Amino acid sequence: MSFTLYDYALSGNCYKIRLFANILNVEYERIAVEFYPGAEHRSEKMLQISPAGTLPILKKDDMVLSETSAMLFWMAKNFNAADHWWPENDVAAQAQIIQWMGFASDLTATIGQGRLHALFQTPIDKDKIVKGGRAALRKIEAHLTEQSFDGFSFLTGDKPTIADIACFPYVALSPDVGANIGLDHDDYPAIRNWIYALKSLNGFIPMPGIYAMHELKDHEIDYGAQKPFKTGAAQ
Amino acid sequence: MTNVAVGLSKDLPNGRVMRAIVGEQDLVVWRSKSGVLSAWDNRCPHRGMRLSHGFVRGEALACVYHGWHYDKTATCRYIPAHPELEPPETIKAQRFSSTEKGGLIWVSIEEQSTEPSIPDNLKAIRSISFACPMMALKQVIRDLDFTLVKDDNSGWVIQEKSDDQWMMKSIKANISLHLFFQNLSEQTCKIHALANSDCAPDTMKKMSQALEHIRRLAEKHYEVVVS
Ligand SMILES: N[C@@H](CCC(=O)N[C@@H](CS)C(=O)NCC(=O)O)C(=O)O
Ligand code: FES
C-alpha cells in the first residue's frame, strides 16, 4: 500500500487527506479510529504510533506525520501530483501556500473546535471561538474577493494548490458551528464561489456536512417543452 | 421598500443558488442553467427545508432534502420517490418579483414595485456584511476622513442619493464608489458596492480594502456605543 491513514469519518482534517488522495487517484490503507466517544486516538496503542494524540495520522514505513500540511506536501511530491498543487519552481507561490497552511491551523482552532462542540459538546469558550471563526472567514473572503479581480478562482492563482485543500474543509463546514452567528455562507459570496470551484474538481468526494453537487444529477429535467418530461424510471 | 438590492449579478452565475433576506422575508434566489433568475420563499412546500440549500438541475431547482424539483414558475414537476407521478399543480413555492439592473440583483416582496434606479456600466466590487445596525454604519461613513486611494489626499464627497443608495466620489481622482445598503436585522446589514467602469483591478482591491476599513470602524464604533 502507498500509505496508511488513521482516519475518522467526521473529521475535517482527516477529510483533507481522503480528498487529496482521491483527487490524485491513489489507493491507501484506511484504519478507522473511534474519535468519539471512545477517544481512541488518545489510547496508549495510538499514542505509541503518534504521540501527538490527534487525527489524522499518515504512516509510511518509518515515517509518521501528524500535521495535515506536511501530509499534503508529502502526497503532492511523492505521487507526482500536477505541478500546480505545489509549484516546484515558484518560491513566491510556495511561500503563499505555507502562509495559507498556517491559516488552515487557525481554522481548526476556531471553526474546528466550534464544530466539535456542536457535535460532541466538548467544552469551549464559545464567544472566543465564534469571534475567531468569523474573523477567519472574513479574512479568506477578502482575499478571495481580491483574487477574483485578477480572474483567479483559488487562494494563490487560477489553479488549486495544497493550500486550497488545507483550508477547504473547515471553511465549508463553518455553518455547522451554529446558525445566526456570522458563520453561515450567506454573507460570503467569494467563499461560495471558491467552494463551488473546489467541488467541481475531478476527484472531489463529499463528507458529512459537505455535499457533492452532483448527487441528484440523474434527474436533470428539460422544461423547454410543456409537460412531457423525462421520468427517472422509464421502463 | 419596493426593490431591494440583494447581491451582485456576478456573484450568482448560471446554475447557482443563494439565500437573501428582505424585510422579514427569507428568500432563495437562484439562476437556472440558461440564466433565468428567480426569487421564492425559502421554504420547500414538501417539508419546509430551506430551498437555498438546494441544487440547480437544468431549468429546475431541486430541494436538497427529498429532491423535489420546482420549475421556474415554482411549481413542483418531479418527485424522485414517485418518478411516475405527475405532481399536482397546487404544489408550488411562493414567488416574488426579481430583476437585474446595473450589475445588481433586485427583489421586491411588494405587489407594486418601481424600477430600480442605478447608473449603467458600473463595475461590481463586492457585497460585504456588517455586524452593526445600518444607522451606525451610515454615521461612520458620514464621518470618514481617510483617503480612498493612495496618493490622493484630496478626500471625497458623499452624495446621499436616497436612503439606500449613496455615492462616494474622490475629489481629485476619477473614482466613484456606489454603495447600496441592505438592512438584514437590527444588528446586521450589507453593502453592495460598485465603482466606475474604468476602474482597474488594483483600484478595485483598494476599494475592497476601504470597505474592510469602514467595517472595522463601524463595528468598533457600535461596540463602544452599546457597552
Ligand atoms: N495538527 C493537526 C491537527 C489535527 C487535529 O486537530 N485533529 C483533531 C480532529 S479533527 C484532533 O485529533 N483533536 C484531538 C482531540 O480533540 O482530542 C493538523 O493540522 O493536521
Ligand atoms: S423538504 Fe424539500 S423535498 Fe422534502
> CATH no. for residue A161?
1.20.1050.10
Mean pLDDT over the full length of chain A: 92
Residue A57 and residue A94 share a domain: no
Cα dihedral sign for B148, B160, B199, A135? positive
Ligand 2 pocket mutation, candidates B43, B66, B92, criterion most atoms within 8 A of CB: B66
Residue nearest to atom 2 of ligand 1 (CA): A67
Q: Are residues A60 and A92 in the same domain?
A: no
A20 pLDDT band (50/70/90 cuts)?
A: very high
- Any idea what DSSP says for residue B223? H
Q: What is the pLDDT of residue B143?
A: 86
Sheet containing B25-31: which strands, arranged edge to edge?
B3-8, B104-108, B95-101, B37-41, B25-31, B16-22
**Lowest-confidence pick of A140-149, B94-103, B164-173:** B164-173
- Average of per-residue pLDDT across B158-176: 89
DSSP secondary structure string for all residues of chain A: ---EEEE-TT-HHHHHHHHHHHHTT---EEEE---TTT-GGGSHHHHHH-TT--S-EEEETTEEE--HHHHHHHHHHHTT--GGGS-TT-HHHHHHHHHHHHHHHHHIIIIIHHHHHHHH-----HHHHHHHHHHHHHHHHHHHHHHHHTT--SSSSSS--HHHHHHHHHHHTGGGG-SSSS-SSTT-HHHHHHHHHHHTSTT---BTTB--TTTTGGG-B--SSSS----TT--
E strand intervals along B14-121: 16-22, 25-31, 37-41, 55-57, 60-62, 69-70, 76-78, 95-101, 104-108
- Output the residue whose Cα is nearest ligand 1's atom 18: A67
Where a domain ends, among A81, A96, A115?
A81
A189, A213, A224: residue with CB nearest B11: A189
Smallest Cβ distance to B83: which of A145, A215, A233? Answer: A233
Using DSSP bridges, classify how beta strands A29-32 and A4-7 pair: parallel, antiparallel or unpaired: parallel
Atom index in ligand 1 nearest the CA of residue A16 equals 20
Residues 6+ apart with CB under 8 A from A100: A155, A156, A163, A164, A166, A167
Q: Is A91 on the interface with B (CB under 8 A)?
A: no
In the structure grid, which three cell numbers stand for residue A67, read together? 500535521
| Alpha-carbon span A16 to A74, nearest angstrom | 13
Model confidence, pTM: 0.93
User: Which superfamily does CATH assign the domain made up of B4-108 to?
Assistant: Rieske [2Fe-2S] iron-sulphur domain (2.102.10.10)
Span A77-127, pLDDT tens digits: 999 999 999 999 999 999 999 999 999 999 999 999 999 999 999 999 999
Residues 115-174 of A with CB under 8 A from B: 134, 138, 142, 145-146, 149-150
Residue of B nearest to A209 (CA): B53
Residue A221 near chain B (CB below 8 Å): yes
Are the Cβ atoms of B67 and A219 closer than 8 angstroms? yes
pLDDT for B151 equals 58
| Domains identified in chain A, total number | 2
Residue A113 Cβ inside 6 Å of ligand 1? The answer reads no
Query: Is A89 found in the same domain as A66?
Result: no
Residue type, B187: Q
The whole-angstrom separation of Cα A73 and Cα A163 is: 9
Residue A51 falls inside a structural domain: yes
Instruction: State whether A27 and A126 are in the same domain.
Output: no
Sign of CA dihedral A75, A80, A84, A88: positive
**Virtual torsion, Cα A68, A71, A76, A78, nearest 10 deg:** 180
CATH of the domain at A51: 3.40.30.10
Any domain includes A226: no
Q: Which residue has the higher pLDDT, A95 or B171?
A: A95
| B contacts of A138 (beta carbons < 8 Å) | 212
Rounded to an integer, what distance in angstroms lies between the CA atom of residue B46 and that of residue B43? 9
Q: How far is CA B109 from the centre of its chain?
A: 14
Q: Which tens digit of pLDDT belongs to each residue from B20-55?
A: 999 999 999 999 999 999 999 999 999 999 999 999
B137 has pLDDT over 50: yes
Residue A230 lies in a domain: no
For residue A223, pLDDT over 60 is answered with no
Q: Are both A75 and A96 inside the same structural domain? A: no
Task: Name the β-bridge partners of B129.
Answer: B190
Is the C-alpha dihedral spanning A128, A131, A134, A140 positive or negative?
negative
Would you state the pLDDT for residue B173? 78
In a domain, A177, yes or no: yes
Within this chain, do residues A111 and A146 fall inside the same structural domain, yes or no? Answer: yes
Task: Supply angle C-alpha B118, B121, B123, rounded to 5.
Answer: 95
Is the predicted pLDDT of residue B110 greater than 60, yes or no?
yes
- Report the share of chain B in percent with pLDDT over 70: 95
- Structure confidence at residue A219 (pLDDT): 52
The reply to whether B4-108 and B122-226 are identical in fold is: no
Q: How confident is the model at residue B150 (pLDDT cuts 50, 70, 90)?
A: low
Indicate whether B12 pLDDT > 70. Answer: yes
In a domain, A223, yes or no: no
Fold topology of B122-226:
Alpha-D-Glucose-1,6-Bisphosphate; Chain A, domain 4 (3.30.530)
H/E stretch holding B197 reads none
Q: Say how many CA atoms lie within 13 Å of B142 toward its Cβ.
A: 7
Q: Is residue A189 part of a domain?
A: yes
Per-domain residue ranges for chain B? 4-108, 122-226
- ipTM of the modeled complex: 0.93
Query: Integer distance in angstroms from the first to the last C-alpha of chain B?
Result: 32
Ligand 2 pocket test: pick from B65, B69, B75, B91 the residue with the most ligand atoms within 8 Å of its Cβ. Answer: B65
Q: What is the pLDDT of residue B114?
A: 83
Structural domain boundaries enclosing A64:
4-81
Nearest-CA residue for ligand 1 atom 9 is A55
**Contact at CB, B205 and A149, closer than 8 angstroms:** yes
In this predicted structure, the answer to whether residue A225 has a pLDDT above a threshold of 50 is no
Q: What is the pLDDT of residues A120-154, one digit of tens each?
A: 999 999 999 999 999 999 999 999 999 999 999 99
Q: Is the CB of A166 under 6 A from ligand 1?
A: no
